[in-house]
Amino acid sequence: MSLRFFVDHCVPNSVIQALRDAGHDVLVLKEHIPRDSHDAVVLAKAQELDAILVSLNGDFADIAAYPPSQYKGIISLQVRNHPEVIAALMRRLTSYLSGHTEMPSYEGQLFSVEAHRIRIWK
C-alpha cells in the first residue's frame, strides 16, 4: 500500500522524487495552497488531504506548538543547513517507509529524520 504525503514548499525536488520513486502519493503544497501559507494552514491542508506532512521547517518539530497526537503524521527532515545529507536521509526514510506501509502507523506521531536515525515522538 502506498502512503500519502503533503510536501511543504521548502522540501527539495529530490525528496519529492525519492518518495514518488518509492511508490508513494506525493501532494505538493504549491498545487493546493499559497507557498507563504502560515504553518497552521499547512497542517490543516495536510489533514484535509488525509496526508502525512513532510517538511524541512523546524517549527513542525516543536511538539509543544504542534502536538503530534492532533495530526495524521509529521515527518521533519533534519538537514540543518547541510543539503549534502539529503541522499543519506532519504535512504534512511524510504527504508523505514517500506516496512511501515499503512497510514495509521503514522497518525499522532512526529518523525524526526536524520541521516543516521529516525526518532519518533508521540
Q: What residue ranges do the domains of the chain occupy?
A: 4-121
Q: Express each pLDDT in 56-111 by its tens digit.
A: 998 999 999 999 999 999 999 999 889 999 999 999 999 999 999 999 999 999 99
**H or E stretch covering 7:** strand 4-7
d(CA 48, CA 67): 17
Output phi, psi for 76, to 5 deg. -105, 110
DSSP bridge pairs for 112: 76, 119
Residues 85-114 as b or e (16 or more Cβ within 10 Å = b): bbeebbebbbeebeeeeebeebeebbbbbb
Q: Express each pLDDT in 10-59 by its tens digit.
A: 999 999 999 999 999 999 999 999 999 999 999 999 999 999 999 999 89
**25 with 3: CB under 8 angstroms?**
yes
Please say if the pLDDT value at position 115 is more than 80.
Answer: yes
What Rg, from alpha-carbon coordinates, does the chain have?
Answer: 13
pTM of structure: 0.95
